[in-house]
Structure 1
Amino acid sequence: MFKPYASLLEGKIEYEAPQAVLLENPIAVGAVGGSGTRILAQILAEAGVAMATPSNDAHDALEWPPMHPIIHTDKLQSMPLKTRLRAAFWGLEFLLLKRREQLGLSGRTGWKVPATHLWLRELADYFPAIQYIHIIRNGLDMAYSGNQRQLSMWGEYVGLHTQFDDTGRAAPRDAMEYWLIANEKAIEVGATLEGQFLLVRYEALCQAPDSELERIFSFLELDIDVAERAALADRIRPPATLNRFRHHQWRDDFTQVQLQRLEALGYRP
C-alpha cells in the first residue's frame, strides 16, 4: 500500500490541506460498476491524459485511496471523516503527480474508479477544477449484471441493506435500487458543478462513438484532431450484454415506483 494511505490507516496524517495546490483539475471517470468506464479510461490514456496506473483488467486506478478501510476502520472513528478524506485526497493528488512524471507527460491527469461518484461532492471541494464524467447505463441491464461489487461494498453506505444469495448475487430489485440511488445522487451533485460534470449514456457511446467522443473531448477541452478521434471511436463496440434485460421477466422484478424513477433518468421501460 502506498505510504500516504498506510500512514493514514495507522491514524497518522502526513499532510492535510483544504484544497489541492499542485493538481487542481484532474479528470475522473465513474459509474455504477459495469457501465462501460473501462473503454473510456483507455481512450483518455491514448488521447494523452496521464491516467492512473491500472490496478486490474478493468483499469481501476491503483493510486485511488483504500476508501473502505479509511471510512470503516475502528481506530479511525475518533478522527472526523472530513479530515480523513482530505488526507486521502492529498495522497491521491501526490500519487497522480508521481504517475504523470513516470509517464513523462505534462498535461491533464486523471483516474477511473467506478465508485468515484460516491465522494463527488468531497472531491469537488478538494479539487476546485475537477472534471468528472459519469457514465450511465440502462438500469434494466444493470440490475441483471454479474458485476455487483459496488453494491456489496457500498450498499449500506447509501442506506441499503441487501441480502445476497449463496453465490454472492443480490436480487434484481435490490441491484436496481442501488443503481437508482447512485445515479440520482451523482446527477444531483453534478447539477451543482457547472462545467465540471458530464453525463454520458453508455448506449449513446456505443451507437454514436465519434460524436460522443467529440462531446467528451470538448467538455475536457482536449485538442484531438478528427482522424485521431475517429480512430479512437473505432475501438468502441456494443457488448453482447446490451439489452440483456429482454431475456428476463423484468416487468415482474421491479416495483412501479422503481420503473418511474428509471424513466425519470431517461430510460423508458
Structure 2
Amino acid sequence: MTSAPILFIGGLGGSGTRAVAGAVAALGYYPGGCLNGANDNLIFTELFKRPDWLKTRPSADRIEARLRLFGSVMTEGVRLRHLFRAPELYRVRHDQGRGLSGVPDALGWMTKEPNCHIFLEAILKTWPQAAFVYVSRHPLDMAFSDNKGQLDNWSWLFDLDPTGWPTREAAQLEYWIRTQKRLDDLITRYPGRIIPLRFDDFAERPVEQLTALVDALDLPVPAERVVPACADVIRPEGIGRWRSRDLSAFSPEQIKFCSQAGWEV
C-alpha cells in the first residue's frame, strides 16, 4: 500500500459518481467488497443512509464514531467487535472479506456512495488524510433527472420543502443550488481537500480529467495506467437534455445562480 489519501466520491444521485469511481478503482484503489450494480458501497449505505437517524441530531462524536467503525470495516473486514456495535453488518461480512488488508497491492481505500456528501465535513474532520471528490453535473440536467431520492431524503437538512415549489424539477434544482452553496463554503474552509469534478467534462475527456485528478491527489500512478482506467467511460445520452425542456418553472434567481456557477444556461 502507498500513502495515497483515503478517498470518498459523492454528489447528487445521477451525477455520474459511478463512472468516476469505476475509473478511480481501476487505477488501483480498493472500493470495498460489498457493492451494488452502481458500485455503491453498501456498508456505507447501511450505516449512513438513515434520514431518521440524522433527524435525531446525533452529536459530532457519534457521527465520528460511526465513521471510524466504517473505516475499520473497510481496512480489516467485519469483525466480531464491529457486530456488537452494528449487528446489521452480519449479512455483509462474507462479501467484505478482509477489507483492505486482503488487497496489499491497493493504493488505498475509497468509498463511492452518492449520499456520502451529506457527511462531507465530518469525513474530513475524522480523517485528516482523506480527500473528497465531489462529482457534479449540469444543474438543469440534474433537475430533469428521475433520480430525486436525495431530494426526498435530505432536503430538510437544507431547510427546503419540496412541496413549496411549482414542480419537482424546480425543487430538485433548488436542492442542487443549496448543496452547491454548502460545497463552495467547505472548499474555502478545507483548501485542497475537496476536488470538484464536473461529470460533463469527465464524460467528454475522461483521460484528461482523470489525469488531472491523479495530479490533484498526488497519486503514485504511472501515466500509462490512466487510459485503460477510462475504458468503460461513456457519454450518457442525458447530457444536455435540459436544452429540449421547458424551463419556465425555474425562477430567474435559480437560472442566474447556475450561470454564475459557471454553467451554460
TM-score computed with the length of structure 1 as normaliser: 0.81
**Which secondary structure state, in structure 1, belongs to the residue aligned with residue 163 of structure 2?**
coil
Deviation string for 1:137-157 (max 9, x for gaps)?
000100000011111111112
**What is residue 100 of structure 1 aligned with on the other side?**
100
> Could you tell me how far 1:54 is from its partner in structure 2?
4.5
> Could you tell me how far 1:67 is from its partner in structure 2?
4.2
**What is residue 54 of structure 2 aligned with on the other side?**
71
Deviation string for 1:230-263 (max 9, x for gaps)?
122332211011111122101x120000011111
Identify if the C-alpha distance between structure 1 residues 187 and 52 changes in structure 2 by more than 3 Å, giving closer, same or farther. farther
Name the structure, 1 or 2, with higher relative contact order (CA <8 Å, separation 6+): 2
Q: Does 1:175 align with 2:172?
A: yes
Alpha-carbon distance in 1 for matches of 2:28, 2:106: 9
**Which secondary structure state, in structure 2, belongs to the residue aligned with residue 29 of structure 1?**
strand
Deviation string for 1:180-222 (max 9, x for gaps)?
1112212220222222111111111112111101001112222
Alpha-carbon distance in 2 for matches of 1:67, 1:233: 29
Deviation string for 1:85-144 (max 9, x for gaps)?
011111111111122123344532110111222221111111112111111100010000
Gaps in structure 1 of 5+ consecutive residues = 1-22, 165-169
Alpha-carbon distance in 2 for matches of 1:191, 1:38: 26
Please say if residues 11 and 117 of structure 2, whose CA atoms lie closer than 8 Å, have aligned partners that are also in contact.
Answer: yes
**What is residue 118 of structure 2 aligned with on the other side?**
118
Please say if residues 24 and 127 of structure 1, whose CA atoms lie closer than 8 Å, have aligned partners that are also in contact.
Answer: no
Deviation string for 1:5-55 (max 9, x for gaps)?
xxxxxxxxxxxxxxxxxx994101111110100011111211111112343
Q: One-letter code of the match for 2:132?
A: Y
**What is residue 88 of structure 1 aligned with on the other side?**
66
Please say if residues 89 and 126 of structure 1, whose CA atoms lie closer than 8 Å, have aligned partners that are also in contact.
Answer: yes
**Which secondary structure state, in structure 2, belongs to the residue aligned with residue 224 of structure 1?**
coil
Identify if the C-alpha distance between structure 1 residues 67 and 239 changes in structure 2 by more than 3 Å, giving closer, same or farther. closer
Q: 1:1-269 maps to which residues of 2 (within 5 A)?
A: 25-64=5-44, 65-68=47-50, 69-72=52-55, 80-98=58-76, 99-105=99-105, 107-163=107-163, 171-250=168-247, 252-269=248-265
Structure 1 ranges of 4+ moved more than 3 A: 102-107
Alpha-carbon distance in 2 for matches of 1:72, 1:115: 15
Please say if residues 37 and 135 of structure 1, whose CA atoms lie closer than 8 Å, have aligned partners that are also in contact.
Answer: yes
Deviation string for 1:62-103 (max 9, x for gaps)?
221234243235xxx6xx521220111111111111221233
Alpha-carbon distance in 2 for matches of 1:242, 1:161: 27
Of Structure 1 and Structure 2, the greater helix share is in 2
Gaps in structure 2 of 5+ consecutive residues = 77-98
- The percentage of aligned residue pairs carrying the same residue is 21
**The 10-residue stretch of structure 1 (203-212 or 24-33) with the greater mean CA deviation from structure 2:** 24-33
